[in-house]
Structure 1
């Protein structure tokens, strides 16, 4: 029940936060602004597991949750300090499916959903995978490198989006992520051949995953917003985040199930195949659909 409340809270905060950033930013710098805003969110999603894993080795769960509560309270205080310009009330529209899901964004949502499944596997099971194959260094370092990769990529990807290179940035990120997940699925085999090389490769993969996902996040967000009229920016952002969250949920369930009946290597290989399908679908279907329907 608490987890359901968490989901409701995060769902409201992420949709509203993204929409506020889009509303208050000049259109010429929207990609850059979304990139910086997303950087904070995704960096937190990397730092959280990293710190949690480090604390788990030295602290009790009570201490970890008290620190989480403290962080949440500080976030609440910061949120109370946010001020935005007053907006004119929007006239109510007839109830329709398009008010909840951006129909023109469904193809991009499918591609994003396929991409987020292996991401969900990684954030949940990579520590167990590292322990299983014999990597002795703390798994928290994986998320450290991943967060660093995201931070570096966000410094340039948002500006490229503002120059109109939305689909090109996403395709580049998809290729990089495909390579990373195939390499991750091979780590169990490579560990038997050369443990030192595999350990280095494991953390290089984390860095490149951060670069790949950090490159794509602001571009995907801008893609959804570009498909919607100004009155449906919130719907566009909601569709973007819903696709991502649903994929992560599927990754949590499917990753554990596949690993239980086979191995983590197989689970990550399955995730790598999904990234290939996502890349092909995006290039062949989503890109031409976006070029035909974009509104700005």
Structure 2
């Protein structure tokens, strides 16, 4: 039997819009602290706050964005997020104080949170049933591309023409996204009165999807560990005299994710989530163990490749699981809940690492992160793995 079509016009456009939106973050994150210091003579602490307040805005708006998608619709929510991204991108050009910069960064984070919650929800609703793993994997490659090319372009354009050139490029890319909004033609999901009433009011279930909280805890813990790498790789590499090799770490990491994700997505759909999740967590543990004990450049880069396979597969698989277990009318809430936990992991990771390093040193922190991975094997089994059943025909179902 022929598989339902995955690469529809809407799927391609939503994936492209997700790439544009994530470029909003990764183009600027590498230059914004330097901009705050050079433009406003800010202290390193103030400059760091200007970078991190973006994430604070994103986390806060996740609480409401899923509900808005249900109440006002997918397209309107996405349009509001991307248009607000464009406005904030333009305002960077006229910022004249550190306080205004912080306000713009916060609102830009809000816009980013709205747009990415919407793109994730829309793509979950248009991926054909039975191809969710493959579809989420391809969609997730847009984020990987943004993480790979965004920082590089940000630094390159800054060296070429200064900070304003980066802001202009960011605004131009977002303007292209606004144009592509008009090309979307997917059918809007009509909710019943009962479904609308289900998300009305000020209750916990109106801001979070309880069904995805358990699996979201898995990705949050993994991203706490990943956040420790992102924030402290340069310092760790300097301490172990591997700075030259470390400059290629995230290139290897991103390249491996781009290559492996399509295959992982197909295996998720054909063989089931348990095989992928258990295997990818084990690969993550091996990668983190190598990372924590790296004494040669090859070992450091090999750990980057293994972590790319492991973390990339865990992220796309947990997101596909959250889609699989959620009713369609609550997909917006499920997506915002999942992304909120992921963002929290990225935010907690650097803070927790900074607190622990004085007691354990860097190798101790990353050894601990490998041990945490072993705990995630048990956590995944408890929150989801044990509920998955395999029939003799190879079909996958879940216990009620």
TM-score normalized by the length of structure 2: 0.64
Gaps of 5+ in 1: 191-197
Q: Which residue pairs with 1:230 in the alignment?
A: 328
Question: How many residue pairs get matched?
Answer: 287
Question: Within 2, Cα distance between the matches of 1:31 and 1:15?
Answer: 18
Kept after mapping to 2: 8 A contact 1:47/1:143: no
Q: Which residue pairs with 2:228 in the alignment?
A: 121
**Is residue 2:113 matched to residue 1:11?**
yes
Question: Within 2, Cα distance between the matches of 1:62 and 1:40?
Answer: 25
Structure (1 or 2) with the larger CA radius of gyration:
2
Q: Which residue pairs with 1:93 in the alignment?
A: 197
Q: Which residue pairs with 1:169 in the alignment?
A: 276
Q: Which residue pairs with 2:61 in the alignment?
A: none
Residues 242 and 147 of structure 1, relative CA distance in 2, 3 Å threshold = same
Map 1:115-264 to 2 at 5 A: 115-137=222-244, 139-163=246-270, 165-187=272-294, 190=295, 198-259=296-357, 262-264=360-362
Q: Which residue pairs with 1:269 in the alignment?
A: 367
Residues 135 and 59 of structure 1, relative CA distance in 2, 3 Å threshold = farther
Deviation of 1:125 (Å): 2.0
| 2:293 match: secondary structure | helix
Gaps of 5+ in 2: 1-102, 390-396
Kept after mapping to 2: 8 A contact 1:182/1:268: yes
Q: CA deviation digits over 1:229-279, x for unaligned, max 9?
A: 121112222222111111111002112333356532233223223222222
Q: CA deviation digits over 1:23-59, x for unaligned, max 9?
A: 1221022221111111111331243345556778888
Alignment root-mean-square deviation, CA: 2.9
Q: CA deviation digits over 1:84-132, x for unaligned, max 9?
A: 2233255322433223222122221222211110111122221232233
After TM superposition, the structure 1 stretch with the greater mean CA deviation from structure 2, 107-116 or 267-276, is 267-276
| 1:163 match: secondary structure | helix
TM-score normalized by the length of structure 1: 0.84
- Structure with the bigger RCO (C-alpha within 8 Å, sep 6+) is 1
